[in-house]
Structure 1
Amino acid sequence: MPKIRKISKLTCQRIGFMQSSAALESLVIKDCSELTSLWEEPELPFNLNCLKIGYCANLEKFPNRFQSLTSLGELKIEHCPRLVSFPETGLPPTLRRLVLRFREGLKSLPHNYTSCALEYLEILMCSSLICFPKGELPTTLKEMSITNCETLVSLPEGMMQQRFSNSNNTCCLHVLIIINCPSLKSFPRGKLPSTLVRLVIMNCTKLEVISKKMLHKDMALEELSISNFPGLECLLQGNLPTNLRQLIIGVCENLKSLPHQMQNLTSLRDLTINYCRGLVSFPVEGLAPNLASLQFEGCENLKTPISEWGLHRLNSLSSLTIANMFPVVVSFSDDECYLPTSLTSLSIWGMESLASLALQNLTSLQHLRVSFCTMMFSLFSINTKKHVQDIY
């Protein structure tokens, strides 16, 4: 009898199934409504390295010896509402990738997940999950994503670096994503890992302000994205990592100012500030000198005119977007705004009073977008045939 190594969609598990599947390496169980438990038989698929289970409405438990599957490297469980917990024995120590997606059901994570060889952890739509087990995160964990967990009130303490800690366990996260966790109130004490390269925080409306101690100049952080964060009032003056390449801030209505030391962020290439209505002024020292892309949209109370942004000093700037701002501005010209000649893409929209546009000095311009400027009646001093490829 040939050995079965892969089953891509199992919908019904019969008695004696495992006797013919001892060599199984990959198993996907989906829409198996009759399944209430996994492997009640004494035999387990010890060669299994990938297990995915989804939409099994009556699945209630895993085998007590689940930890014995020492070849298992990937586990994904989706929408099994009656599965509320894992066996006390926990997860296999070899597990590298764990994905949990529950609309309802799961109330707690496996207590020993911190001792696995996890590299990737994704928790999505676990509406009954309130907190993480105590303890350190696996030192192997590189990426953690927590999304749409409505009742989650706290993050794992082990994700932070403590200044005075006797623990030898050091968190080495590279990517941390937290999205749509409306009950989350604060980060644990300490600093974010110095190894962190990407940090995304979106729609966590009760989250308190990010402490100055959490971010530090010597971090490896390259991408910082914060959206719909009412607690953000300032961007950690002087504490932004010098490695930062992309900074995205959106819908932070209480943000009043940009960092005054932005000129020191020499690695920053992409700056996007959208719908921060509390922002009223620009940093006097100007922006990061090596910006390639700059977007400001919906910052309707920003009073600093474009001519004072210091754009002429940005010799690497190739893309500029200004939208839904400056409602009384009538004309826009490269001379008045001191636009850099390096621009290849310019987008302007939602400037209600804008009536004319003069861009005769932007000889590198290839893409021009002008939209929702209801008073616009003339485009002049621009050689569209010679310089601009797209106008829309």
Structure 2
Amino acid sequence: MVKQILMRIFSSSLDAFKVYKLSMIKFDECGNYTDMSLDGDSLSLKGCEWLEESTFMATIIHHLTCLQQIEIYGFLSAVSFQANCLPKSLQKMEITKCRKLEFSQQQHKYDLVELQIKENCDSLVSLSLNAFPNLKTLLIEECSNLESITMSEPPHTALQSLTISWCRKLVSITEGGLAAPNLTHLCVKFCDKLKALPCKMDTLLPNLQSLDIEYCYGISRFPEGGLPPTLKELHMRGCEGLLRGLSSIGKLEALTDLVINGYPCERIIKSFPEVGLLSQLPSLTTLEIRNFEDLETLECNELLRLTSLQHLQIQFCEKLENMAGDKLPSSLLLLQIEYCPLLGEHCRNKHQHVWPKIQHIPTIEFEDS
């Protein structure tokens, strides 16, 4: 019955031209049921056995000549895409929980602008950026067998945002360097086997503005040459080697936001920041320090090097109670102390060893629970 209804839609060119978004769901959390609906410009197909037939899927996509977005969820059989079967209008593809995902990466070029591959797409071992020359946004999440992102035809001039997370076997992001001159955002999280950030970042990523690295334990240092001088935001969490190497990344004159998360850190850090660690950040306006479980002392004189600092946030440093040195920077407008019970109490009580160093700050906020 559903198949007959679908064929009636395809027999009407007017209705087919209306469809800009196609959702194909083989199963969902509510059970395996059959349903089809056309709501405005969105066509949704759920729980239909014949959706698993690759020829039928190709027929659906072929008829929707104005299609711009496809969502495919929960297919157990092979999901294969041939570039010449996808309409030129297609811009975004989101694939979730499709274990046997296949792209013809060697022979075809895809016109996609955005690609998301998420959750248990186990057959994906390597993805070539060469196959997606127009891709602006790439997100890969929880693909347990992904080992590499490759590129043999640099540069990739379209790519603007790359996010890779929870890919436990990933060992390489373009061995020769990620040549993406228009990339502005790079995020890598929970990739245990990744040993290094892409090489030559300072020259191959001349427009990078945001870098987010979390829980990539194998990365022990920043790439040779340091980070791109255009970088405005840097977030680091669970990367002890990178924390130690902060002082060697060069002068980042554009950096305005820095988030440093100390958990987990094998090295006992009782005083922060260390001498020279934050010495070359003239434009830094926001600094967030989080989860240093052994931290006892905040070094005010080192923070005085941050002459543009306006917002300082300190979170989850339960042993922190001292401030060493003269005072915090005079440029500060907001100090937030959250879940740091000892330091918070000293500030509230205007302790003689703490209060003189922060009393010039217009706004001071506390949060303990």
TM over 0.5: yes
Higher relative helix content = 2
**Is the counterpart of residue 325 in structure 1 residue 292 in structure 2?**
yes
Residues in 1 aligned to 2:280 and 2:159: alpha-carbon distance in whole angstroms = 31
SS in 1 for 2:274: helix
2:145 is aligned to 183
Give the counterpart of 2:62 among 59, 83, 91: 91
Q: Could you tell me which residue of structure 1 aligns to residue 174 of structure 2?
A: 211
Asked whether 1:131 is paired with 2:102, we answer: yes
**One-letter code aligned to 1:208:** V
Task: Specify whether residues 312 and 76 from structure 1 end up closer, same or farther in structure 2 by C-alpha distance, changes over 3 A only.
Answer: farther
Change (3 A) 1:79 1:261: farther
Q: Unaligned stretches of 5+ in structure 1?
A: 1-33, 62-72, 162-169
Deviation at 1:213, TM superposition (A): 1.8
Does the CA-based 8 Å contact 1:79-1:102 persist in structure 2? no
| 1:387 partner letter | P
User: How much does 1:276 deviate?
Assistant: 1.9
Give distance in 1, aligned partners of 2:94 and 2:10. Answer: 30
- Asked if structure 2 preserves the Cα contact closer than 8 Å seen for 1:237 and 1:260, the reply is yes
Query: Residue 102 in 1 paired to residue 73 in 2?
Result: yes
Counterpart in the other structure of 1:35 = 2
The corresponding residue for 1:26 is: none
- Distance verdict in 2 for CA 1:356–1:78, change over 3 Å: farther
What does residue 116 of structure 1 align with? 87
Q: Secondary structure at the match of 1:348?
A: strand
Letter in 2 for 1:268: L
Matched, 1:250 2:214: yes
The match for 1:348 is: 314
| 1:231 is aligned to 2:193 | yes
1:388 pairs with 2:363: yes
Q: Of the candidates 142, 161, 164, which is equivalent to residue 198 of structure 1?
A: 161
Q: What code does the residue aligned with 2:290 have?
A: A
Shift of the 143–251 alpha-carbon distance from structure 1 to 2, 3 Å rule, reads: same
Contact 1:36-1:58 within 8 A present in 2 as well: no
Q: What does the per-residue CA deviation read over 1:25-81, in whole Å, with 9 as the maximum and x for residues that have no partner?
A: xxxxxxxxx6245444597120123335566856699xxxxxxxxxxx976546435
Identical amino acids, percent of aligned pairs:
18
Change (3 A) 1:386 1:219: closer
3-state DSSP class of the match of 1:131?
strand
The one-letter code matched in structure 1 to 2:101 is: I
Measured against aligned partners, the alpha-carbon deviations of 1:357-391 in whole angstroms (never above 9, x if no partner) come to 36734233232222333543423224557622544
The structure that has the greater radius of gyration is 1
* Residues 1:300 and 2:275 aligned together: no
Aligned residue among 121, 130, 133 for 1:160: 130
Say if 2:303 and 2:328, in contact at 8 Å, map to a contact too.
no
* 2:252 alignment partner in structure 1: 288
Deviations 1:274-320 (CA, angstroms, capped at 9, x unpaired):
11245462142545222100011025246795233443432211110
> Relative to 1, partners in 2 of residues 1:91 and 1:371: Cα closer, same or farther, differing over 3 Å?
same
Cα pair 2:273 2:299 within 8 Å, conserved:
no
Which of these residues, 324, 334, 341, is aligned with residue 367 of structure 1?
334
TM-score normalized with structure 2 length? 0.76
Counting strand residues as a fraction of each chain, which structure ranks higher?
2
Name the stretch that deviates more: 251-260 or 116-125: 116-125
Trace 1:3-82 onto structure 2 (pairs within 5 A): 35-40=2-7, 44-48=11-15, 49-51=17-19, 52=22, 77=44, 79-80=46-47, 82=49
Given that residues 79 and 100 in structure 2 are in contact (C-alpha distance below 8 angstroms), is that contact kept between their aligned partners in structure 1? yes
Corresponding position of 1:335: 301
State the SS of the aligned residue for 1:207: coil
- Contact (CA 8 Å) 1:364, 1:387: kept in 2 or not? no
Structure 2: state its 5+ residue gaps.
27-31, 348-354
> Displacement, 1:128?
3.5
How far apart are the structure 2 equivalents of 1:277 and 1:386? 31
Distance 1:339 1:78, change over 3 A: farther
On the 8 A contact 1:256/1:279 being kept in 2, the answer is: yes
Change (3 A) 1:78 1:147: farther
- 323 and 46 in structure 1: CA distance in 2 versus 1, 3 angstrom threshold: same
Pair 1:143 & 2:114 matched: yes
Paired with 1:284 and 1:243, the residues of 2 have a C-alpha distance of: 21
Of 121-130 and 111-120, more deviation after overlay is shown by 111-120
Is the 8 Å Cα contact of residues 192 and 214 (structure 1) preserved in structure 2? no
2:328–2:358 Cα contact (<8 Å) kept: no
Distance 1:43 1:280 in 2: 57
CA distance in 2, matches of 1:46, 1:81: 23
Q: Deviations over 1:304-353 (max 9, x none)?
A: 952334434322111101112271x4321421444413212111123343
